[in-house]
Amino acid sequence: MVFPTCAIYHSIHKITKRFIYRGSEIFEEICQLPEYYPTRTEASILKEYADEIAQLTGCCELVELGSGSSTKTRLLLDAYQKIGSSFKYVPTDVSGGILKNSVLELQEKYPNFSIEGFIGTYDETLAHLKSHPTQTSFEGTSLTRTICFLGSSAGNFPPQEFDCFLNQVVNALKPGNYFLLGIDLQKPKEILEPAYNDSKEVTAAFNLNMLSHLNWRFQGNFDLDLFTHKAIYNQEKSQIEMRLYCQENVTFSLEILDLKVDFEKGESILTEVSRKFDLAAIKVELEKKGLKVKKVWTDPKQWFGLILCQA
């Protein structure tokens, strides 16, 4: 669902605003945690190289997948503001509440930009982009498209799903368009595991919110107090695995699905995977999809990478 700068429409998706918005709020808290290095590391790369990125793509239609509050992206928007006003920013997210707030803030901060939010999943957003290949700024200028996927969300896709995701990205781009991808790079588990097991247990609250959502959506009776959060780095697969461990032998039900789930004490639910990438391997994968790697930027420790590709 698209909404212009002056009108916000309600999402037609059957997603509860309460728990999606709460999840977005908690994730914003996670990004500020001292243990969670990805956000500040990526922000440091953008702070140093945003001007170069803007110069390479030129003023464009910048579509951000999973924009959240667009905090880091403002470094890019500042860079684009320096090179011209024929620019359009399209933040997209499943949370209509946080998207509305960020669009209104950005509209005030960047009055010369065309800003238009889109409420939807990655699949829905990319399908919409595929069916709307030609974009113009509010000055009527034809713009080159740049799809932007910041953060470490690329790692949440298993390999086969990530392959499908890249196919969707390619289908949403015309020759000459750009794709800016943020990736979390491989590093020792002594750095990785604390980032997902923070001392304030904010990540634990984010993980448990999933059960709250299941309870709401499917009339479930999961008792959140019977689960504990833990994230472990799987060295063989180069991925963080977030789990919720049940503390008792118990049965829960999801009434709408007519489903009962039996747990034994110590049994876990795998709730999220966050893969960590090898830079050389991901560059090969992108090139095979027809996404020519134009430039790569990393931090001094090579913990995180930004890759600019051109279709």
Judgement on whether residues 281 and 271 belong to the same structural domain of the protein: no
- Token pair listed for 289: 């999809």
Judgement on whether residues 27 and 97 belong to the same structural domain of the protein: no
Q: How many domains does the chain have?
A: 2
Provide the 10 A C-beta neighbour count for residue 72: 23
Judgement on whether residues 11 and 22 belong to the same structural domain of the protein: yes
Judgement on whether residues 207 and 139 belong to the same structural domain of the protein: no
- Predicted local distance difference test score (pLDDT) of residue 85: 73
**DSSP β-bridge partners for residue 184:** 304
Judgement on whether residues 171 and 50 belong to the same structural domain of the protein: yes
CATH code of the domain containing 111? 3.40.50.150
Distance CA 227, CA 265 (A): 10
- Predicted local distance difference test score (pLDDT) of residue 20: 54
- Exposure string for 136-159, b = 16+ CB within 10 A, e = fewer: ebbeeeebbbbbbbbbbbbbbbee
Judgement on whether residues 243 and 300 belong to the same structural domain of the protein: no
Distance CA 89, CA 8 (A): 16
Judgement on whether residues 269 and 281 belong to the same structural domain of the protein: no
- Predicted local distance difference test score (pLDDT) of residue 305: 97
CA-nearest of 103, 123, 132, 120 to 5 is 103
Q: Map residue 35 onto helix, strand or coil.
A: coil
Distance CA 267, CA 238 (A): 23
Domain that holds residue 131: 37-187+277-310
Tell me the angle at which helices 73-83 and 37-57 cross, rounded to the nearest 10 degrees: 20
Judgement on whether residues 164 and 210 belong to the same structural domain of the protein: no
Judgement on whether residues 173 and 271 belong to the same structural domain of the protein: no
Q: Return all residues near 17 (Cβ < 8 A) that are at least 6 apart.
A: 11, 95, 96, 97
- Region of residue 151 (phi > 0: left; psi between -120 and 50: alpha; otherwise: beta): left
Judgement on whether residues 235 and 149 belong to the same structural domain of the protein: no
Judgement on whether residues 167 and 230 belong to the same structural domain of the protein: no
Concatenated DSSP letters of 228-297: EEEEEEETTTTEEEEEEEE-S-EEEEEGGGTEEEEE-TT-EEEEEEEE-B-HHHHHHHHHHTT-EEEEEE
How confident is the chain (311 residues) per 10-residue block, as mean pLDDT? 35 41 75 85 96 96 92 95 90 90 94 94 95 68 90 93 97 97 96 93 93 94 97 96 97 96 96 96 97 98 97 96
In the block, tokens 């992108």 appear at 286
Judgement on whether residues 166 and 285 belong to the same structural domain of the protein: yes
- Predicted local distance difference test score (pLDDT) of residue 96: 86
